[in-house]
Structure 1
Amino acid sequence: MPDQAALPDTVSLSVGGRAVADYVWQPRLPRTVSPRPFLHPVRTLAGTEVTESMPEDHPHHLGVSVAVADVGGANFWGGRTFVPGHGPVQLPNHGTQRHHDWTARTSTAVRHELRWVGPDGTELLHEYRRIAALPLSGQAWALDFGFELTNVTAGPLTFASPATNGRLGAGYGGFFWRARRGDRRVHVLGPERTGERHLHGRRTAWLALTGSGTDPWTLIFVAADQPRRTDLWFVRSRDYAGVGSALAWTQPLVVAPGGRVRRRIVTVVADGRLRSRQVADLAGTVAAIPAEAAQS
């Protein structure tokens, strides 16, 4: 493995020779956004960007990342912290996700170890992350994003969210994708229902966003390797466009010392506004892709 200090801070991922995503693995960001590695821009095969990073409305939204609002009291989401009885408050409690070591780094896949460090410098979590760009068709490719978090503290570690702390409907925290809206109208699709109102806070096998207008696109999020569909979806389509797989919605997630949290989200990135049947077919295809495929 080459000297990490000499490596650029961004890894470009490609499908069929076309650059489809930039992974910023060692970002230089203000502490208030909870610095962490992220993917941006992510593009369709035709080159349409489908992520936003540090938008004016939420400067702590960083393309595609793993972000949790409350891990043992540390903010790994960025921005303000929801405090019961006070609402959102800016606190000096922001954590940082630091790159530790590469285990693989190619034009189609990256795998590395990270350290989640609290505001006082204490390591709370060790993470193993795996990201791969997989070909699907001439119109679509898939971003396979898996992570494993290990509690390295001496006691139980609690994952919480504004919802578990009292803010209704705000169960965000985990894998999160901030989509690029632009002047598009964004639609939300699910296996049986459509619309943000019907799919926000729901468990479904998949969830999709479609962007109409110039250069339309479709994003299909599939919770892979989760036969019980553990997490609820967090989705926004009106004030902004974003989708997350929530680790703690109705109650905190408590992880014992040495315990692990594993998640894998496979996202189809397609050109065009796909129809419901096309979306369902693609969701079924990527749900069947084994995690090992991303390591070949």
Structure 2
Amino acid sequence: MFRTKLTHVHGERIDVSQDGTRLLSYVYAPEAPFEAPKPYLHPLATLSGAVVTDYRPNDHRWHKGLQITASHLSGQNLWGGNSYVHGEGYRALPGRVGSMTHDGFDDVRAEDGQAVIAERLTWRNHDGDPWAGERRRIEAAVTDPASGSWHLTVSTAITNLRDEELRFGSPTTAGREMAGYTGLFWRGPRAFRGGNILTAGAEGPDAMGTQSPWLGFTGELDGVDGHATLVFAHAPENDHTGEGDGHPAHWFVRNDPFAAVAPSWAFYDELVLPPGDTLTRRYRVVVADGRLGRADIVKYLADHPW
């Protein structure tokens, strides 16, 4: 029987390993204020131990593995770093940079092939005022180690605590073309630059700004021979349009000058959350050794239903 182990370094991080290989670290200790402190997953690794995330790269120090972010939030920046201002470009505006603070865990456990991390957080503006409360759940599942793949399910429920609406935006909603990043965001390792991008209906850079229920990204590894693939998938209930049709969000994806993926909450248009309302999203992230093509991705997602 394969063995899943969870190690909690209290106040810092939670590590999950499978048969001695660390698959993820969930880091919740706060870091540099200019980087918009928030929890993140890094390293994220395949079952063979190949790391498929980057941490504080020199081009964007606030890129940390896999995170839930908000690049534009009612005039604040919970993404980190410089803020995009229409007509002025990116500017250092530290007074806009907020944070997501860890409040506590409701569930932390592991058993064979499964691990669960359930957390409460508060989204704060630069002055520390509570703007949103979040309940986050991360589930790691290793159902068939022989397949070379495992997956995360990331769920979030964000409730507006203000007396006025929260407006989720992106550099694109602020005027920069094809920079609609916000929400769940993955930064890949340097070796993944130039990697292969696939969706259900597009390939390569043509996938930017399109809609698809899933997106796959394959890169070649440094240090060891071979490739790894990540697949990002929307849960069926994710409702981007607000009309109850579950229409998937637009993908932000790059393989040059770096590897990055985000199923954007606000690619072309702002997402408005009224006072007291809750934004819910659920995603699956498949982490696989080797190259996965469209047929492989479709089969994995069908074999592991929501």
Q: TM-score, normalised by structure 2?
A: 0.88
Contact 2:232 2:283 in 1 (8 A): yes
One of 92, 98, 101 as aligned partner of 1:98: 101
Identity %, equivalent residues: 33
Cα pair distance change 1:176/1:184, threshold 3 Å? closer
Supply the AA of the counterpart residue of 2:108.
R
Q: CA RMSD in A?
A: 1.7
- Residue of structure 1 aligned with 2:274, choices 249, 256, 262: 256
- Give the direction of change, closer, same or farther, for the CA distance of 1:166–1:185 in structure 2 (3 Å limit): closer
Confirm whether residue 33 of structure 1 aligns to residue 35 of structure 2: yes
User: Structure 1 152/8 Cα, relative in aligned 2: closer, same or farther at 3 Å?
Assistant: closer
Question: Which residue number corresponds to residue 294 of structure 1?
Answer: none
The answer (yes or no) to whether the contact 1:210–1:274 under 8 Å persists in 2 is: yes
The alignment status of 1:275 with 2:280, answered yes or no, reads no
Post-superposition offset of 1:16: 5.4
1:42 corresponding residue in structure 2:
44
| Structure 2 CA distance for partners of 1:284 and 1:229, relative to 1, 3 Å | farther
* Structure 1 length-normalised TM: 0.91
2:79 aligned partner = 77
- Cα shift at 1:183: 6.7
Shift of 1:32: 1.1
Equivalent in 167, 186, 199 of residue 177 of structure 1:
186
Preserved CA contact (<8 Å) 1:64 1:178: yes
Q: 1:245 pairs with 241, 263, 268, which one? A: 263
Q: Distance in 1 between matches of 2:199 and 2:168?
A: 27
Unaligned runs of 5+ in 1: 1-5, 290-296
Q: How many residues align?
A: 282
Look up the match of 2:117: 110
For residues 103-123 of structure 1, the C-alpha deviation after alignment (integer angstroms, 9 at most, x for no partner) is 011241100100011001111
- CA distance, structure 2, for counterparts of residue 94 and residue 276 of structure 1: 39
Q: Does 1:63 align with 2:74?
A: no
Q: Which letter does structure 2 place at the counterpart of 1:91?
A: L
CA displacement 1:236-291 (0-9 Å, x = unmatched):
112101110111111111111001111111011000112321122113334x22xx
Query: Pick from 217, 232, 247: which aligns with 1:229?
Result: 247
User: Any conservation in 2 of the 1:181–1:211 contact (CA below 8 Å)?
Assistant: no
Which residue of structure 2 aligns with residue 3 of structure 1? none
Measure, in 2, the Cα distance between the counterparts of 1:59 and 1:184: 17
State whether residues 222 and 266 of structure 1, in contact with CA within 8 Å, keep that contact through their aligned partners in structure 2: yes
Matched, 1:7 2:10: yes
Shift, 1:211, TM fit:
1.0
Cα 1:200/1:136, change in 2 over 3 Å: farther
Q: Does 1:21 align with 2:20?
A: no
Q: Is the 8 A contact 1:23 1:39 kept in 2?
A: yes
CA contact (8 A) 1:206 1:220 kept: yes
Unaligned runs of 5+ in 2: 1-8, 239-244
Aligned amino acid, residue 117 of structure 1: R
In the TM superposition, what is the alpha-carbon distance from 1:168 to its structure 2 partner?
Answer: 0.8
The 3-state SS of whatever aligns with 1:74 is: coil
